[in-house]
Structure 1
Amino acid sequence: MPEAAPAPAPAPQATPAPAPPKPAPVEVKPTAPTRYVVQKGDTLWDISKRFLYNPWSWPEIWYANPQIKNPHWIYPGDVLTLYYVNGKPRVSVTGGPRVTGTSTIVLKPGVQYEKLPNAEQPIPIQTIRPFLIHPRVVPVEQMLKAPHIVGSSEDRILFGNGDHVYVRGLPDKPKSSVYSLYRPGAVLRSPKTGKIIAHQVTYLGDIRITHNGSIATGVLENVTGAVHPGDRLLPYAKKDLNYTFMPQAPKVRVDGQVISLFNAISMVGQYQVIVLDVGSQQGVRKGDVVAIEQHGRVIRDDNASPGESPMVKLPNSRSGVAMVFRAFDQISYALVMSSTRPIEIGDVVANP
């Protein structure tokens, strides 16, 4: 008799994603005002710190007034009132021009303002604006697929403003006729896998495409340095960017590291920009606040009991908190909001 075919092996079970952490209970400061009038120059982070120990918990207590225009935004002149419903704190707009109906001059709403009236503002927009307009780190997939310059009509290797150059890799019908030029630099690797996940890039200028095709033609504009073959084209940055941010706790469990620093060699502090190895693929969103922690040291315990290891790893210690202001697929930019010690490459990124 023929032998029976062996039973198929059971399909491997997918490893379930770690459950998101339970949000910490909202803690209202005992010094929180029951009534606060929003001032010109206030930011949401600033206002949240008046009421809460953790500013990223603001969405948990904010109660939008549906009867007023733009109920999710806060304007100068709004009267914010703290009250409790079934023992839970809430803050809503209970007075001010929008409630009384008197005329007002509407200032830029939201969390941040392009012009800061003084140096005490907790979210300096001038610090992050360059990173919103021109990226300094680009995901590796985007850089590898980006069109590139192959040469010019004059057989030169360096190009400048007004030069006509040839571009390879543009789609047959590009969505835009203007692109920005970048030069790939150092690579950033995932601390977990060692794979390259991003390129540091340098902004060089812009290019206007004049003729499409498999080899397109373009004219260089606003060039800040010499352009040469191999420089990459990325989408042109829009100038009308949204500078509003809602600080919030992440909805997912964050498990990442700091992989790059800006404007620093080895460490950064408050109001400086860092790059994280987690992004939108891991559920990280614009406005998410994360904790930055230093790895716990390994020390020797000379008083260990029999059977215990004399070497002990101390718990991680918090260095500060940062807010994500731009999220890509596998990386994100974050602004250090507060720090108690220098933040370095390799520090742990976790839920606050």
Structure 2
Amino acid sequence: MLKKLLSVSVGLLLTLTVYAATVEWADNHPDRYVVKKGDTLWDISARFLKQPWLWPEIWQDNSQVKNPHLIYPGDELVISGRHLGRGGVGPHVRASGYDEAIPPIPLSALKQWLKNTRIVAEDEYRDAPHVIGLEENQLRGSPGQLVYVRGLNAQPGTKLALVRPSGRYYDMPPEDDGRPREVYRQAKDDFHDRRPDILWRHGPNEFTLSGNVRFLGYEMRDFGVVQVTRSGDVSSALVISSDFEVKAGDYVLPIDTRPYDDQYVPHSPPKVPENMRVIAFSDALDAVGPRQVVALSRGSEDGIENGQTFSIYHEGDVVADETDYPEGRTRRFFHPHDAKVKLPSEFIGHVMIFRTFQRVSYGLVMDAVKPVHAGDFLFDPNNVP
């Protein structure tokens, strides 16, 4: 942990000079601010900076804050923008516990996405042990009952997670030349949950007539915990806890001991992967707004990491120029491409990454002036596309 904190501190220090040159302070900001219960790093920076992901600018003026992840209610912060005095209340020993520290983002808004949702690769899914039956031939199981698991190699006493697929992500070549790849989320209801059918039969190495189909991952819901009681070709496991009933066909995976990283602060990405888009969201059918979760089409293999903040833009529509190229006129017939005009992309809001997998990441919409839709693009928050 010490190494990790040192590396975070060094990285922030190296970028402070850049932040200082580009940061814009909000009008009429105070010289000092006392941290209140319920604050988050984003909330504080959003009050005083026009670009909230440049929070290290505030930290730069507060030398008493040794660890930017450990800021507590009652701390007094210098909010100057002019580097006055370098120090707020000065160094002191804090008696508060770690649990009282304010988080970078409102973790309460994330709920199941922090601990109960994961993205797994095809190989991991294909090899996952599965529940093949329940004691006394019951159709459903609950805490205190035994389940029988096939394909499990674990010692008695081992605790494992019960998981169930909720969807899968993939992208495909576009129908029209020059367009970005199309990204899709296929919900569990759209495919069978029997493994021979759910396996991706058009994997990342298979080429269609249009090109390569790229599999991004299976979305799995962690819903319970079992403890192995007997090992064998078919192992026995006791259901310790579950959010809903266990059934044959559920899967067993190792428990994720650290499902998310809370040791980060908002920051802009060094670069934005090509064609990074919103591919799905929670708790809504058509669109989401602030404090809602979105799934994004790029992950750790593309350089995505927790804390990175992106601007969300909606791609401009293509409209017909009815003034200079009216319908039915010769000019429109001979110049069909000139008759169509692509409108500028529209700014929607900001999203911050809080959980990252190999090819998919989850982000929290921090602010939005319009609803966020699936297919919206992500850009560098410091540059307008």
The interval holding the TM-score normalised by the smaller chain is 0.7 to 0.9
Deviations along 1:21-60, whole A, 9 cap, x unmatched? x989222234233322323332211221233111111235
**Which has the larger share of helix?**
2
Q: CA deviation at 1:189?
A: 2.1
Hey, what's the Cα distance between the residues in 2 that align with 1:298 and 1:90? Answer: 47
Residue of structure 2 equivalent to 1:206:
225
Using a 3 Å threshold, how does the CA distance of structure 1 residues 92 and 267 change in structure 2: closer, same or farther?
farther
| Aligned residue identity for 2:280 | S
Q: CA deviation at 1:260?
A: 1.1
Residue of structure 2 equivalent to 1:10:
none
Using a 3 Å threshold, how does the CA distance of structure 1 residues 82 and 235 change in structure 2: closer, same or farther?
same
| Aligned residue identity for 1:310 | A
Deviations along 1:276-312, whole A, 9 cap, x unmatched? 1111111111111111111210011245598771111
Aligned 1:78-97 pairs, distance under 5 A? 78-82=75-79, 90=83, 94-96=87-89
Q: CA deviation at 1:336?
A: 0.9
- Structure 1 residues without counterparts, runs of 5 or longer: 1-21, 113-122
Q: 1:36 aligns with which of 25, 33, 37?
A: 33
Hey, what's the Cα distance between the residues in 2 that align with 1:238 and 1:57? Answer: 30
The normalised TM-score by structure 2 is: 0.70
Q: CA deviation at 1:76?
A: 2.9
Q: 2:252 aligns with which of 233, 240, 252?
A: 233
Using a 3 Å threshold, how does the CA distance of structure 1 residues 167 and 217 change in structure 2: closer, same or farther?
same
Residue of structure 2 equivalent to 1:219:
238
Residue of structure 1 equivalent to 2:143:
161
Q: 1:49 aligns with which of 43, 46, 49?
A: 46
SS in 2 for 1:131: helix
Hey, what's the Cα distance between the residues in 1 that align with 2:264 and 2:44? Answer: 13
- Structure 2 residues without counterparts, runs of 5 or longer: 1-17, 172-181, 184-211, 326-330
Confirm or deny that 1:26 pairs with 2:26: no
Residue of structure 2 equivalent to 1:254:
273
Using a 3 Å threshold, how does the CA distance of structure 1 residues 264 and 314 change in structure 2: closer, same or farther?
same
Q: CA deviation at 1:194?
A: 4.5
Q: 1:327 aligns with which of 341, 356, 359?
A: 356
SS in 2 for 1:32: coil
Hey, what's the Cα distance between the residues in 2 that align with 1:93 and 1:38? Answer: 17
Confirm or deny that 1:293 pairs with 2:275: no
Using a 3 Å threshold, how does the CA distance of structure 1 residues 152 and 38 change in structure 2: closer, same or farther?
closer
Hey, what's the Cα distance between the residues in 1 that align with 2:120 and 2:229? Answer: 26
**Which has the larger share of strand?**
1
Hey, what's the Cα distance between the residues in 2 that align with 1:103 and 1:293? Answer: 42
Hey, what's the Cα distance between the residues in 2 that align with 1:173 and 1:238? Answer: 18
Q: 2:164 aligns with which of 177, 183, 201?
A: 183
The normalised TM-score by structure 1 is: 0.76
Q: CA deviation at 1:157?
A: 4.5
Hey, what's the Cα distance between the residues in 1 that align with 2:299 and 2:141? Answer: 35
Q: 2:287 aligns with which of 236, 245, 267?
A: 267
Residue of structure 1 equivalent to 2:201:
none
Q: CA deviation at 1:262?
A: 0.7
Hey, what's the Cα distance between the residues in 2 that align with 1:73 and 1:341? Answer: 33
Hey, what's the Cα distance between the residues in 2 that align with 1:65 and 1:27? Answer: 18
SS in 1 for 2:165: strand
Greater Cα offset, 237-246 or 146-155 = 237-246
Given that 1:61 and 1:90 are in contact with CA atoms closer than 8 Å, whether structure 2 keeps it comes out as: no
Given that 1:62 and 1:92 are in contact with CA atoms closer than 8 Å, whether structure 2 keeps it comes out as: no
SS in 1 for 2:242: coil
Q: CA deviation at 1:338?
A: 0.9
Q: Percent identity?
A: 33
Greater Cα offset, 134-143 or 329-338 = 134-143
Q: CA deviation at 1:334?
A: 1.0
| Aligned residue identity for 2:339 | P
Q: CA deviation at 1:135?
A: 0.7
| Aligned residue identity for 1:63 | Q
Given that 2:40 and 2:106 are in contact with CA atoms closer than 8 Å, whether structure 1 keeps it comes out as: no
Hey, what's the Cα distance between the residues in 1 that align with 2:54 and 2:315? Answer: 26
- Size of the alignment, in residue pairs? 314
Q: CA deviation at 1:331?
A: 0.8
Aligned 1:59-138 pairs, distance under 5 A? 59-60=56-57, 62-63=59-60, 70=67, 73-82=70-79, 90=83, 94-96=87-89, 99=90, 101=92, 105=96, 108-112=100-104, 123-135=105-117, 138=120
Hey, what's the Cα distance between the residues in 2 that align with 1:240 and 1:279? Answer: 15
Residue of structure 1 equivalent to 2:339:
310
Hey, what's the Cα distance between the residues in 1 that align with 2:345 and 2:240? Answer: 49
